[in-house]
Structure 1
Amino acid sequence: MYEVLKKDERGLINNKIASSMVKFIHEDNDSVIMDISRINISGEVLMHFMNSNWDAVLSTGVDNIDRQHQELFRLINNLVSAMNEEKSKVEIIKALDSLEEHAIRHINEEEAIQKENNYPGLDIQQMQHEEFKDCLRHIRSFLETREISTLFIIHMQEKIFKWCRKHMLTTDKDLGEFLINSRRN
């Protein structure tokens, strides 16, 4: 879900748009035009991807994994906030460093648990975890070589939260069920 806040003479107008209905038809570093209603996203409009917080629907049932997922969401939000607040590149890179350190530690711990328990979905987990690490590397490369635009923040935020939610709702939920059932037996 997107939330679009557009400023005009009456103040801020809030529109919520389902992300499945959004198609970007024109983009550059300063603006994007969304096909849904030909909204021009520029300095006068702020766009925010919804569902950027961990919630109980993402729970795996394994407390340690869920706590790590909550921390992952917090660190992603810190990175997005640093960019939205136009903090210095040093501060933004520091937020990314924290996110990467936590993500790698979490991935390593999660995969170790899977190996210890002979989890049959380990290969899929590893493949998806590599996708996430690639996403973080791409973000780092962009941040180190280019200026941050509103469009970059929008795309990055959407991509990273979509990946997390999808992975947690499917692959990690399956892992949680497997681990809980293994402990019962």
Structure 2
Amino acid sequence: MVTGNELIDSEHTQLFEAINALLDACASGRGRDSLRDTAEFLSDYVAKHFGDEEQLQKQYHYPHYDAHRTFHVNYKKQIRDAADAIKRAGGTMENLQRLNQLVNVLINHIRREDKRLASFIRENT
């Protein structure tokens, strides 16, 4: 998932460390206990990471900024809603599945959009 952009890649490393920690917790029977912290981390993470990406997009006049930002706004709401649901109901199977779906969406976004952004920045520096 390396994009070649130092800032983006360092933030992606933090994301994958948190996801791997949750997977490890699930494998050892502690997944429900870790779900709330992971959801909170993800909510905070996407707010910061997406803000950093949007700054880069503005700085380099990225032509897909509007679509990228629209995804960011919608995704931040979805992950915040999921974190709030986990706070209210705890580590239910439904909440775990929802968080897993949102993580998959984020990983696909990284594979496509973040790599495209990093490529654009490399070509324009």
Name the TM-score, length of structure 2 as normaliser: 0.80
- Stretches of structure 1 that go unaligned for 5 or more consecutive residues are 1-57
Q: Structure 1 residues 148, 73: closer, same or farther in 2, change over 3 A?
A: same
Partner in structure 2 of residue 153 of structure 1: 96
Structure possessing the higher radius of gyration over alpha carbons: 1
Task: Tell me if the contact between 2:4 and 2:118 (Cα under 8 Å) persists in the aligned partners.
Answer: yes
Residue 120 (structure 2) pairs with residue 178 (structure 1):
yes
Q: Which residue of 1 aligns with 2:58?
A: 115
- Give 5+ residue unaligned stretches, structure 2: none
Give 1:52's aligned residue.
Answer: none
Alpha-carbon spacing, 1:107–1:171, altered in 2? closer, same or farther (3 Å): same
Write the distance in 1 (CA, Å) between the matches of 2:62 and 2:89: 41
Are the aligned partners of 1:115 and 1:122 in contact in 2 as well (CA < 8 Å)? yes
With normalisation by structure 1, the TM-score equals 0.57
**In the superposition, relative to structure 1, how do residues 134 and 82 fare at CA in structure 2: closer, same or farther (>3 Å)?**
farther
Higher mean displacement: 147-156 or 167-176: 147-156
How far off is 1:94 after superposition? 3.6
CA distance in 2, matches of 1:77, 1:133: 21
- Tell me, in whole angstroms, the C-alpha distance in 2 between the residues paired with 1:150 and 1:170: 29
**Is the 1:117–1:179 Cα contact (8 Å) retained in structure 2?**
yes
The alpha-carbon deviation at position 81 of structure 1 amounts to 5.4
Instruction: Kindly report the root-mean-square deviation, in angstroms, between the aligned alpha carbons of the 2 structures.
Output: 2.2
Residues 79 and 95, structure 1, Cα contact 8 Å, conserved in 2: yes
Instruction: Give the CA deviation at 1:82.
Output: 5.5
Identify the match of residue 138 of structure 1 among 61, 70, 81: 81
- Sequence identity of aligned pairs in percent? 23
Higher helix share: 2
